[in-house]
């Protein structure tokens, strides 16, 4: 990167050289603080006695942080420094610092300094570190975004998230909350006896979901590999292996478009609980989400994109067949084959090809007619078998499986079923998917994983499984409308 022609960088480089000429190391290896800024202020406030003129009424503290503002008053300078905990104003006075006061001239907004002194209050009551000495901890040579208007340019915010974090405090809040959500999920599941595991990201068969995979290659094995699109089949292998309750919070990769609620890599929670069914999982999901909301926001309601959404259990549970009938007028059972359903959908004006497979059609009908209406948390239950090859058939509803998807704010946030554990039917379902894929050239259909079938053949207990998109959950809980504001480095096209 060239910067010799940039005057703002130039003036900082000149200051840097001045410091070096004076024998000052602008990048010292270490610095000992007495505490973070928040702790120091907290301690000062709680011990404060009404004697602001006496600087020795508190212990000396040593604080450090990034310079966020400099207000120069001639022989006094006010410098705001910020660490992760808090911001504090530091007052440096010429008669206190003596000859080192001049060095302050070489500081800029964005530099890191450490300062030692007593905490006091100014005339206006501002808590201030009255600095006796200071140390330059890092001289920055590139200017920061302006403090008042912040950094707004979305492209810069996402590509250079560090600038976004420095300039926009609410972004720090968002990602702090994201971290709390992840912790909260782990506490919730661990508390219920689940064990966290890690399964392969590089896989020979990209199975367990309807999605196009990313392809890669292992040189020394001379083998094409894929980035996983789900963790399902490995986690169920672990249920076969005897773990009763497992979960994984991991990145999965789907080779699809990017929009407000899709990022090509995203964080997926999958959990599998032996001797549970999809009803148990529904109960778990609504408890988990509402408890997280309370943990993050102190209440179970959110305001998302203008909607007031109440996450308090129980959530509505509506059958897929009924909802599609109510919203689109289509009774799926009247159109049992691909062609008749294609024709029906076309007659409603849906933009589809001459012949589409039934699973894909139902998915489109669902997205177009049902999902946008599901603002309050809703479980849509009992999906057609043809679009759910890994789910157990419903004992009463022929052609349907025990599956649900959870929707909030029109977004799918979870997918779950009573896991299919009949190895003969499981093989048949996979073969069916393979046939449909070949017939329709639909690259997104699920794939047959032979080793997974071997595991099923050994026997898996009845199991309730769950997949939950964590980025979308974060979007809801931090009330952000774009997935890019819930992922700290969202995917962006490379710059040429």
Partner RNA sequence: GGGCCGUUAGCUCAGAUGGUAGAGCACCUGACUUUUAAUCAGGGUGUCGUGGGUUCGAGCCCCGCACGGCCCA
* Interacting residues toward RNA by CB under 7 A: 5-8, 11, 15, 69-76, 78, 89, 91, 93-95, 108-109, 120, 122-126, 128, 130, 143, 145-156, 158, 167, 257-260, 351, 482, 484, 490, 492-496
The smaller minimum CB distance to RNA, of residues 463 and 480, is found at 480
CB neighbours of residue 181 within 10 Å = 21
CA dihedral 230, 364, 329, 468 (to 10 degrees): 30
CB of 490 to RNA, least distance (A): 7
CB of 121 to RNA, least distance (A): 7
CB of 361 to RNA, least distance (A): 13
The smaller minimum CB distance to RNA, of residues 71 and 251, is found at 71
CB of 141 to RNA, least distance (A): 12
Q: Which residues pair with 316 in a beta bridge?
A: 378
CB of 123 to RNA, least distance (A): 3
The smaller minimum CB distance to RNA, of residues 154 and 190, is found at 154
Terminal CA-CA length for the chain:
14
403: which residues sit within 8 A by CB, 6+ positions away? 278, 381, 382, 383, 388, 391, 415, 416, 417, 418
How many residues comprise the chain? 496
CB of 47 to RNA, least distance (A): 19
SS3 for 205-251, per residue?
Answer: CCCCCCCCCCEEEECCCCEEEEECCCCHHHHHHHHHHCCCEEEEEEE
Biggest CA–CA distance in the chain, Å, is 90
The smaller minimum CB distance to RNA, of residues 273 and 485, is found at 485
**Contact 157/150 with Cβ under 8 angstroms?**
no
The smaller minimum CB distance to RNA, of residues 43 and 93, is found at 93
CB of 90 to RNA, least distance (A): 10
Please name which of 461, 409, 401, 378 lies closest in space to residue 278, comparing C-alpha atoms.
401
Tokens found for residue 317: 């549970």
The smaller minimum CB distance to RNA, of residues 45 and 183, is found at 45
CB of 87 to RNA, least distance (A): 10
The smaller minimum CB distance to RNA, of residues 154 and 373, is found at 154
Tokens found for residue 141: 């040579």
- 74 in the Ramachandran plot: left (φ > 0), alpha (ψ -120 to 50) or beta? left
Residue 250 Cα distances to 25, 473, 486, angstroms: 42, 14, 16
CB neighbours of residue 496 within 10 Å = 3
Please name which of 218, 225, 319, 335 lies closest in space to residue 278, comparing C-alpha atoms.
319
The smaller minimum CB distance to RNA, of residues 306 and 395, is found at 306
CB of 419 to RNA, least distance (A): 31
The smaller minimum CB distance to RNA, of residues 30 and 149, is found at 149
The smaller minimum CB distance to RNA, of residues 156 and 274, is found at 156
CA distance 210 to 338: 18
139: which residues sit within 8 A by CB, 6+ positions away? 12, 15, 16, 19, 26, 27, 106, 108, 111
Q: What is the DSSP letter of 27?
A: S
The smaller minimum CB distance to RNA, of residues 15 and 429, is found at 15
CB of 485 to RNA, least distance (A): 9
CB of 69 to RNA, least distance (A): 5
C-alpha 98 chain-centroid distance:
50
Tell me if residue 92 falls in helix, strand or coil.
strand
């Amino acid at each position: 990167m060239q910067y010799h022609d940039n005057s703002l960088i130039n003036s900082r480089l000149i200051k840097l050289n001045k410091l070096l000429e004076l024998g000052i190391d602008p990048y010292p290896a270490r610095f000992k603080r007495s505490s973070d800024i928040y702790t120091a202020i907290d301690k000062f406030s709680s011990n404060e006695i009404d004697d602001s003129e006496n600087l020795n009424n508190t212990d000396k503290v040593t604080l450090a942080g990034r310079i966020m503002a400099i207000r120069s008053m001639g022989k006094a300078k006010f410098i705001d420094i910020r660490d992760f905990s808090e911001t504090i104003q530091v007052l440096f006075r010429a008669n206190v610092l003596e000859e080192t006061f001049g060095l302050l001239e070489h500081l800029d907004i964005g530099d890191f300094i450490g300062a030692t002194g007593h905490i006091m209050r100014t005339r206006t009551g501002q808590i201030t570190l009255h600095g006796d000495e200071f140390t330059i901890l890092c001289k920055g040579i590139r200017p920061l975004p302006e403090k008042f208007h912040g950094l707004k340019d979305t492209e810069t915010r996402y590509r250079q998230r560090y600038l976004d974090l420095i300039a926009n405090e609410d972004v720090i809040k968002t990602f702090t909350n994201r971290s709390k959500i992840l912790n909260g999920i782990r506490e919730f599941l661990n508390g219920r006896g689940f064990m966290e595991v890690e399964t392969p990201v590089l896989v020979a068969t990209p199975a367990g979901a309807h999605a196009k995979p990313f392809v890669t290659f292992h040189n020394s094995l001379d083998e094409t590999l894929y980035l996983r699109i789900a963790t399902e089949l490995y986690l169920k292998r672990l249920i076969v292996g005897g773990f009763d309750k497992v979960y994984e919070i991991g990145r999965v990769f789907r080779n699809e478009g990017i929009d407000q609620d899709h990022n090509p890599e995203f964080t997926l929670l999958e959990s599998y609980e032996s001797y549970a069914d999809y009803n148990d999982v529904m109960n778990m999901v609504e408890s988990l989400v509402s408890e997280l909301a309370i943990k993050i926001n102190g209440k179970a309601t959110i305001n998302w994109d203008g909607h007031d959404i109440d996450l308090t259990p129980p959530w509505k549970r509506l059958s897929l067949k009924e909802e599609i009938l109510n919203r689109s007028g289509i009774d799926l059972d009247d159109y049992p084959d691909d062609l008749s359903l294609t024709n029906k959908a076309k007659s409603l004006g849906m933009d589809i090809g001459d012949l589409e497979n039934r699973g894909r059609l139902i998915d489109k009908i669902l997205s177009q007619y049902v999902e946008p209406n599901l603002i309050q948390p809703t479980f849509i239950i009992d999906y057609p078998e043809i679009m759910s090859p890994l789910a157990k058939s419903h004992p009463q509803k022929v052609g349907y499986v025990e599956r649900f998807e959870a929707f909030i704010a029109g977004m799918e946030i979870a997918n779950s079923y009573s896991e299919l554990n009949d190895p003969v039917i499981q093989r048949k379902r996979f073969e069916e998917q393979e046939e449909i894929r070949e017939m329709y050239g639909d690259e997104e259909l699920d794939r047959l994983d032979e080793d997974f079938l071997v595991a099923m053949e050994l026997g898996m207990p009845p199991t309730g499984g769950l997949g939950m998109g964590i980025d979308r959950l974060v979007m809801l809980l931090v009330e952000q409308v774009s997935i890019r504001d819930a992922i700290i480095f969202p995917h962006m096209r490379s710059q040429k």
